[in-house]
Amino acid sequence: MAKHRFQPGNTFGKRRPQGVKSHEIKEHRALLGPMVPEILAKCYAMALDGDIGAMKIILDRAMPIRSVVDEEFSEELAELRALLEERQTNEVSVQ
């Protein structure tokens, strides 16, 4: 299988370089930029009023599942370390 889809010298096969945003994205961000604080405030207010969709948006963005799992894992790890230290101190006191 060929390494590249297009033959060398084919200028039609060139793509936009990675990391370069299209002009449309830049325009949308420029238009929405000043309104972001107001939109976030509205979303928070809707979530506090009981809007499940707004709650989901906020929680998905503010606290991704990975951070929750990491937090739970670190709590369990701390508990296990405490138990291990307690056990080691008990063994030392018995001897």
Domain ranges, ordered by start, for the chain:
26-62, 64-95
pLDDT band at 45 (very low <50, low <70, confident <90, very high): very high
Between 78 and 46, residue with greater pLDDT:
46
Return the residue matching tokens 């969709």.
53
Q: Does the CA dihedral 26-27-33-39 come out positive or negative?
A: negative
From 24-28, 37-41, 54-58, 80-84, the region with the lowest mean pLDDT: 24-28
Identify the three-state secondary structure at position 61. Answer: helix
CA distance 54 to 60: 10
Average pLDDT over residues 32-50: 90
Residue-wise pLDDT tens digits, 68-86: 677 777 888 888 888 888 8
Round the average pLDDT of the chain to a whole number and report it. Answer: 79
Q: Is the pLDDT of residue 18 over 70?
A: no
Cα→Cα distances 27→38, 48, 55, 81, Å: 19, 31, 28, 52
Task: Give residue 52's pLDDT.
Answer: 92
